[in-house]
Homo-oligomer: A and B are copies of this chain.
Amino acid sequence: MERERLRALLGAVQRGELDPEAALERLAHLPFVDTPHARVDTHRALRQGLPEVVYGTGKTPTQIAEIVRAQREAELPVLVTRVEPETAARVLDAVPGGEHDAAARLLWFGPREVPVVGKGLVLVVSAGTSDLPVAAEAVGAARRFGNRVELLADVGVAGIHRLLASSELLRQARVLIVVAGMEGALPSVVGGMVDKPVIAVPTSVGYGAAFGGLAALLGMLTSCASNVCVVNIDNGFGAAHVATLINRL
């Protein structure tokens, strides 16, 4: 119990056995005491070597540039998601030195080559060409998060042979991200072919009864393959984050 630990610590300080500064440090490591440690905790991602991530939608180029500049002045990498070319250009005017991946809509400020710390291969599999922007977001984020990443694109289930031809690659992956719109069936098929965790990303690709990704989302949640878990519609970044944490285990 925390109370006893506290009493012992305070007794040690009283008896001169423990220096106040050392006691302070220990307290700083208690989960709920709002010390620099706690604050650093809010930057947990950073301590892990993960870049700070900014969700770009709804932010002006000026706002993005301000956040990026603050990070860069602290010599920290920063990844901005959902950045269209025009916005990227204006941010890069204000804060040079970044690179924009238009397909992935990612704006990156940091080392060109991020050292690989993930233990295995993160494989991003995508169904149709329209799913590529979401798949690219997953690929780009996972790479910036220090993973070895490969993309297996255009292997929708209506042409199952294309997927089967890559079964060797599927089995080499340590964790898989599967991106699909429309009926979202791909994660079920992939999930049945591997014995690794599959992170499914429904996309808003499709029309009519696709209902903006709802069909794919429901399909993935009810997958008959039980090694599949799901993130939000179009959330390539979220899938990359979960995959990164798994790949570092």
Q: What is A's interface to B at a CB cutoff of 8 Å?
A: 1-3, 6-7, 10-11, 13-14, 16, 19-21, 23-24, 27-39, 41-42, 44-45, 48, 53, 55, 57-59, 119-120, 127-130, 156-162, 164-165, 167-168, 174-175, 182-185, 188-189, 191-193, 195-197, 199, 202, 204-235, 237-239, 241-242, 245-247, 249
- A210 to chain B: which residues have CB within 8 Å? 218, 222, 232
Q: In the complex, which residues of chain B have a beta carbon less than 8 angstroms from the beta carbon of A249? A: 119-120, 174-175, 196, 246-247, 249
Task: Give the residues in chain B near A20, CB-CB below 8 Å.
Answer: 7, 10-11, 13-14
Copies of this protein chain in the complex: 8
Q: Which residue of B lies closest to A241 (CB)?
A: B226
CB contact under 8 A between A241 and B221, given known A32-B34, A207-B234 = no
Q: What would be 16 A-B contacts, judged by CB atoms less than 8 Å apart?
A: A2-B35, A3-B28, A6-B24, A6-B28, A7-B21, A24-B35, A28-B38, A58-B205, A175-B249, A196-B245, A206-B222, A209-B217, A209-B222, A215-B221, A221-B230, A229-B242
Please determine whether A183 and B182 come into contact, CB atoms closer than 8 angstroms: no
A56–chain B nearest beta-carbon distance, Å:
11
Closest Cβ neighbor of A6 among chain B residues:
B24
Which B residues are in CB contact (< 8 Å) with A189? 157-158, 160, 185, 189
Is A224 touching B127 in the complex (CB atoms < 8 A)?
Answer: yes
Q: How far is the CA of A45 from the CA of B208 in the complex (A)?
A: 24
* Chain B residues, CB < 8 A from A127: 224
Query: In the complex, which of the residues B36, B185, B192, B213 contacts A219, with contact meaning CB atoms closer than 8 Å?
Result: B185
Distance (Å) between the CB of A172 and the closest chain B CB? 12
Knowing A28-B35, A33-B33, A219-B184, the reply to whether A157 touches B209 (Cβ < 8 A) is: no
A167 in contact with B31 (CB, 8 Å): yes
Q: How far is the CB of A186 from chain B (nearest CB, A)?
A: 8
A3 touches B184 (CB 8 A): no
What is the CB-to-nearest-CB distance from A84 to chain B, in angstroms, rounded to a whole number? 14
Q: Are B130 and A58 in contact (CB under 8 A)?
A: yes
Task: List chain B residues, Cβ under 8 A from A202.
Answer: 208
Instruction: From known contacts A157-B188, A158-B191, A192-B157, infer whether A207 and B233 are also in contact, taking CB-CB under 8 Å.
Output: yes
- B161 near A34 (CB under 8 angstroms)? yes
